[in-house]
Structure 1
Amino acid sequence: MNRFPLRARLATTVTALGTALGAFASMGTATAATAQLSGEWAPFTRCPVDAPLMLGADGLARTPQCVVSSSPNGSITLGNTTVVTGRTDLQLGIVQNSDGTSTVVAPPAGAIIADSASVPGGLLGLMCPSGIPAITAICEQLTNSTLNKITATVESVGTPSDFDQSAGVVTGLPIVALPVRIHLENPFLGANCYIGTRTDPIVLRPKNLTYPEFGLSFFKGDGTLADDGEMSRISLTGAAQNDSDFAVPGAAGCGLGVGLIDAAVNLKTGLPSAAGRNSLTLNDTRTYLTGLTAPGTVAPDAGKILARNWNSAVK
């Protein structure tokens, strides 16, 4: 079997999408159902293989694939505030169309999971001191570290879009658009304090800064390595990514019900913040893409077979 066309296609695809997705930085923690998988399937814990678009991919006009991209650390600057990020994990299904376009499929609970992080200085740093009497009263109570601490969580607010496959083989061009909002949590902020909303999200468009190291393996449907395996996995490791062109809207819904904390938070942090004043950087991204080695030979059932293989590797 001649695998070269597949290798070339997968290499281009994963360079375009995988390294870009690794450029996503997070400032919080999110939860979603994950599975433990065996062997070469291990990184793909949340691939949406059972989504209708994935199951319906025939292997000819539409080819299904799974992508995961993670980073151990990085940083994100929004206005006047910089937060050091922890581990991020982004997973998607991709349907490669025969016309050269791609359709992105997010897992049911969202594409992104990330370690939690604390905003430097907590609430004191975010809005104190203040000339607003109600805010001053809050500031005077913030000697307690529990009351002062702010956790920030990045949440997906839509399916990624604008995927540009050709941008992945060069540096400096946006590869995919990732719409997110940031949930700020603290007793004084209430339950609905967000930077960005579903209708006005922060949209990250990561670009390659460096190129990753390339690896290729073949494996059986259950994840066992095999030179003649029906599955292929490409690994891209060690890349650095950045986006310094995204805009950030102001915080909204933050405590007291009348917007007083919104104003204090936005004034101290410099939000809203125009494009060019914010930055995202992730280090040492690790990206993996997998798909059927010869999807056309199992048409029209490529999506169903990919899902069957993924489920067979679940521990």
Structure 2
Amino acid sequence: MSRRSTSRGLFGALATATVFATVTAVGSLSASIAGAAPAAEIPFGGWDSCPIDNPETSTCMDVTVTGGNMKIGKLSVGIPAGAMRIAGGVAYRENPEAEFGFDQVFIPPNDNSRGIYAEPIDIPGGALGIDLPFNNLFGLNKASATVESTSALPTVDAFQLGVTLPVKLKIANPLLGGKCYLGSDSNPVQLNLDVTEYGVLEEVPGFPDTAVVRNTGHTGQPFAVPTASGCGPFGVLNPIVNWRAGLPSSTTSNSLATTSDVYNIGADSLRPQPAGSPEPAAVAAERSAN
């Protein structure tokens, strides 16, 4: 049996566990994953992003990008490990028309991230498309891109590991100011990430409602990127950014491929327990690791 078909079978077990937990109102992935390989020292960091104070949150999901590449028009940017993360809660709302009888609804963290956390990524060649001496002209040629959330929330699929991200890209350079963007709240860059390779599914010993799927490959469906806005005083540098990046850029000129580790845990494992009850195992494990 191939690794891909094996991963699909294991992931099917994860989906079955999640459905069972939801239908029985346990609020987490309550069944263990048959055949999953035990994993030692799975990190529990990042669960503070899950909105466990919302009683509708059943599953906490964390997608941490470990590498990839994004191409926009004439720009090609490598995505380093840890440069982007999608995290939050998942609620299951009854819908007889849905595949499992309910919809999966993303619940964002209780901060301003709207579930998207990202670090600036250097653009090779900087603002002019070529690396210059003297530290890229004392930093004047250096440019970076940061993925930011919009007013629309991401959507996630805790079963199939798909992610949809309506985003805008902030372009940073000393001459562009702090409001230079590709995409906006009203016209976002729509990243629809489908799984192209299911990774290795790992069960966490002692945590039957927790699973990690490592090295999951995502590829973005065709997406368009609009012209730049807000670059330089009164947008006077918008044409320069459009020239450098080749904007507007149609769906045939852009691509995105990432590899990620996906973490799922039942929200009840993170919630405070009644007085006198044992501390949730996941909370104790994270506290002891720090």
Q: TM-score, normalised by structure 2?
A: 0.70
Question: Aligned pair 1:307/2:271, yes or no?
Answer: yes
Structure 1 moving runs of 4+ over 4 Å:
4-7, 161-166, 309-315
Structure 1 match to 2:51:
48
Shift of 1:203: 1.1
Change over 3 Å in CA distance of 1:44–1:11 after alignment to 2? farther
In structure 2, the gaps of 5 or more residues are 1-11, 22-40, 96-101, 273-279
**TM-superposed deviation, 1:41:** 3.3
**Matched residue, 1:114:** 118
Q: Once structures 1 and 2 are overlaid, which stretch shifts more, 198-207 or 157-166? A: 157-166
Paired with 1:5 and 1:201, the residues of 2 have a C-alpha distance of 35
Q: How far is 1:271 from its partner? A: 0.9
Higher relative contact order (CA 8 A, sep 6+): 1
Q: Is the aligned partner of 1:249 residue 2:226? A: yes
Inter-partner Cα distance in structure 2 for 1:148 and 1:79? 19
Give the Cα–Cα distance (whole angstroms) in 2 for the partners of residues 277 and 235 of structure 1.
33
Q: Is the 8 A contact 1:207 1:243 kept in 2?
A: yes
Q: Kindly report which structure 2 residues correspond to 1:1-315, keeping only aligned pairs within 5 A, or say none.
A: 8-10=16-18, 41-50=44-53, 55-57=54-56, 64-86=58-80, 87=82, 88-99=84-95, 100-107=102-109, 108-110=111-113, 111-125=115-129, 144-161=137-154, 163=156, 168=160, 175-217=162-204, 226=206, 232-257=209-234, 259-283=235-259, 285-291=260-266, 306-308=270-272, 309=280
TM-score of the pair, normalised by structure 1? 0.65
Bigger share in strand: 2
Report the identity percentage. 26
Q: Contact 2:210–2:264 (CA<8 Å) still a contact in 1?
A: yes
Give the match's secondary structure for 2:256: strand
Distance 1:165 1:236, change over 3 A: closer
Structure 1: where are the runs of 5+ without partners?
14-37, 58-62, 127-138, 170-174, 219-225, 293-301
Higher alpha-carbon deviation: 85-94 or 188-197? 85-94
In structure 2, the CA distance between the partners of 1:165 and 1:91, relative to structure 1 (3 Å rule), is: closer
Aligned twin of 1:295: none
2:87 maps to a residue whose letter is: Q
Asked if structure 2 preserves the Cα contact closer than 8 Å seen for 1:12 and 1:165, the reply is no
CA gap of 1:262–1:235, structure 2 versus 1, over 3 A, is same
Deviations 1:115-151 (A, max 9, x none): 432111112229xxxxxxxxxxxx9xx9623111112
Asked if 2 retains the 8 angstrom alpha-carbon contact of 1:10 and 1:234, the reply is no
Q: Deviations over 1:25-68 (max 9, x none)?
A: xxxxxxxxxxxxx9763342422223xxxx222xxxxx611001
- Structure 2 letter corresponding to 1:214: L
Deviation at 1:78, TM superposition (A): 0.9
CA contact (8 A) 2:106 2:155 kept: no
Q: Which whole-Å CA distance do the structure 2 matches of 1:6 and 1:275 have between them? A: 34
AA of the residue aligned to 2:196: L
1:73-92 CA-to-partner distances (Å, cap 9, x unmatched) read: 21101111111111222212
**SS of residue in 1 equivalent to 2:197:** coil
Asked whether the 8 Å contact 2:68–2:78 carries over to 1, the reply is yes
